[in-house]
């Protein structure tokens, strides 16, 4: 747990810092061979992971009766277009608004988290100031605070601000994240040598200039990951949106919940079409970033 975080000598090029023990090419570690049972277990996991998603899409392309069909429908049907039209025309879901709101909120929050967290992470990693250690510990502590539990006062706060039901209520409270600060701090520590910052200072760079011209470019890979993770999280956020927004101005997750509740006879095809849309951007991010994400989760675990 601790051994893997030892920093290599500072003379090495930064890129090498990121290569971790578990990625060592041609590792000397003699790994066990896979048996047929290994592949069976992994394939089973794959099928179980994919099935609910695939089935969601299949029902979205069919009629509601297909959801209660046995054996289950496994191939897409012809109704996707019709279901999409019905979804966007549904009066209780306000799906267009929900989709737009989610796009705006997720993008804004992602950009803001990346900016503020890289700024704070840089300060905690490289700048000398009184209280640096305390601040760093405080950031780590905030990660463990279950802020969701402050839901009731946060609602009261939103009423004071007059933000209840407004889109900013699902944006502003999420504009920073302790996890983000911590991740950025780690990354700055690992990639940017102190000498580089000293040199820039001697050349007359202001602190913000150092951040903007030296730190940000070097942080780009970590920023992409943090940005997309934050986008995913905000897109996925449900509890707070449900508490603070109204059905007439929902996010996409809230909107599909309306479909789940409003229908007297539940219209599965419609619900699943909504669910498909609510999942689609996440799947796109997954395709783009899946491998990176795996690496991050595994690296994070080693550092924790």
Of residues 71-100, those binding other proteins (CB under 8 A) = 72
Residue list 106-125, contact with other proteins (CB under 8 A)? 116-117, 119-120, 122-124
Which of 80, 157, 166, 189 binds other proteins (CB under 8 A)? It is: 157
- Give CA–CA dist 147/80, Å, rounded: 39
- Asked if residues 205 and 240 have their Cβ atoms less than 8 Å apart, the reply is no
Residue 26 binding other proteins, by CB under 8 A? no
Minimal distance in Å, beta carbon 77 to other proteins?
A: 16
Residue with tokens 């520590």: 189
- Total Cβ atoms within 10 A of residue 98: 26
Q: Which of 138, 140, 194, 246 binds other proteins (CB under 8 A)?
A: 138
Site for other proteins in 272-291 (CB under 8 A): 272, 274-276, 278-279, 282-283, 285-286, 288, 290-291
Write down how long the chain is.
304
How far from the centroid of its chain's Cα atoms is residue 35's Cα? 35
> Other C-beta atoms within 10 Å of 95: how many?
25
Show contacts with other proteins in window 238-277 (CB under 8 A).
Answer: 238-239, 242-243, 253, 256-257, 260-261, 266, 268, 271-272, 274-276
CA max distance for the chain = 73
Determine, following the binding rule CB under 8 A, whether residue 133 of this chain makes contact with other proteins.
no
Is residue 183 involved in binding other proteins (CB under 8 A)? no
Q: Which is nearer to other proteins, 45 or 96 (CB)?
A: 45
* Residues 110/228, Cβ–Cβ less than 8 Å: yes
Residues 187-226 that bind other proteins (CB under 8 A): 191-193, 195-196, 199, 202-204, 206-208, 211, 214, 217-218, 220-221, 224
Dihedral of CA atoms 170, 300, 2, 9 in degrees, nearest 10, equals -110
**50 lines the binding site for other proteins (CB under 8 A):** yes
The Cα 180–Cα 178 span in angstroms is 5
Q: Cβ of residue 288: shortest distance to other proteins, in angstroms?
A: 8
Which one among 11, 26, 36, 70 touches other proteins, defined by CB under 8 A?
70
Q: What is the dihedral of CA 195, 198, 199, 205, to 10 degrees?
A: 140
Q: Taking Cα atoms as reference points, which of 265, 285, 281 lies closest to residue 98?
A: 281
Asked if residue 36 binds other proteins (CB under 8 A), the reply is: no
Considering the complex, state which of residue 104 and residue 242 has its C-beta at the smaller distance from other proteins: 242
Q: Which of 148, 194, 212, 246 binds other proteins (CB under 8 A)?
A: 148
What is the C-alpha to C-alpha distance for residues 101 and 169, in angstroms, rounded to an integer?
11
Residue from 39, 89, 194, 246 touching other proteins (CB under 8 A): that is 39
């Amino acid at each position: 747990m601790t051994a893997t975080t030892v920093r290599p000598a500072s003379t090495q090029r930064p890129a090498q810092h990121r290569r971790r023990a578990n990625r060592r090419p041609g590792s000397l570690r003699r790994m066990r061979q896979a048996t047929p049972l290994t592949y069976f277990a992994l394939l089973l996991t794959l099928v179980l992971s994919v099935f609910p998603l695939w089935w969601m899409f299949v029902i979205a392309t069919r009629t509601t009766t297909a959801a209660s069909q046995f054996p289950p429908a496994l191939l897409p049907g012809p109704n996707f277009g019709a279901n999409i039209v019905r979804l966007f025309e549904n009066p209780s879901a306000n799906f267009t608004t929900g989709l737009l709101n989610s796009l705006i909120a997720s993008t804004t929050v992602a950009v803001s988290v990346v900016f503020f967290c890289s700024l704070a992470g840089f300060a905690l990693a490289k700048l000398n100031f009184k209280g640096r250690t305390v601040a760093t510990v405080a950031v780590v502590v905030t990660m463990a605070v279950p802020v969701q539990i402050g839901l009731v006062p946060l609602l009261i706060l939103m009423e004071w601000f007059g933000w209840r039901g407004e889109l900013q209520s699902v944006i502003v409270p999420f504009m920073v994240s302790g996890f983000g600060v911590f991740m950025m701090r780690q990354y700055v520590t690992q990639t940017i040598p102190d000498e580089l910052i000293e040199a820039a200072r001697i050349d007359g760079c202001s602190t913000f200039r150092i951040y903007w011209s030296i730190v940000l470019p070097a942080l780009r890979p970590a920023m992409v990951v943090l940005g997309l993770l934050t986008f995913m999280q905000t897109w996925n956020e449900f509890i707070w949106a449900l508490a603070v927004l109204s059905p007439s101005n929902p996010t996409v997750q809230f909107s599909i919940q309306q479909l789940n509740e409003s229908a007297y006879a539940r219209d599965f095809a419609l619900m699943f079409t909504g669910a498909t849309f609510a999942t689609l951007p996440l799947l796109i991010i997954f395709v783009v970033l899946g491998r990176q994400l795996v690496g991050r989760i595994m690296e994070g675990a080693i550092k924790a």
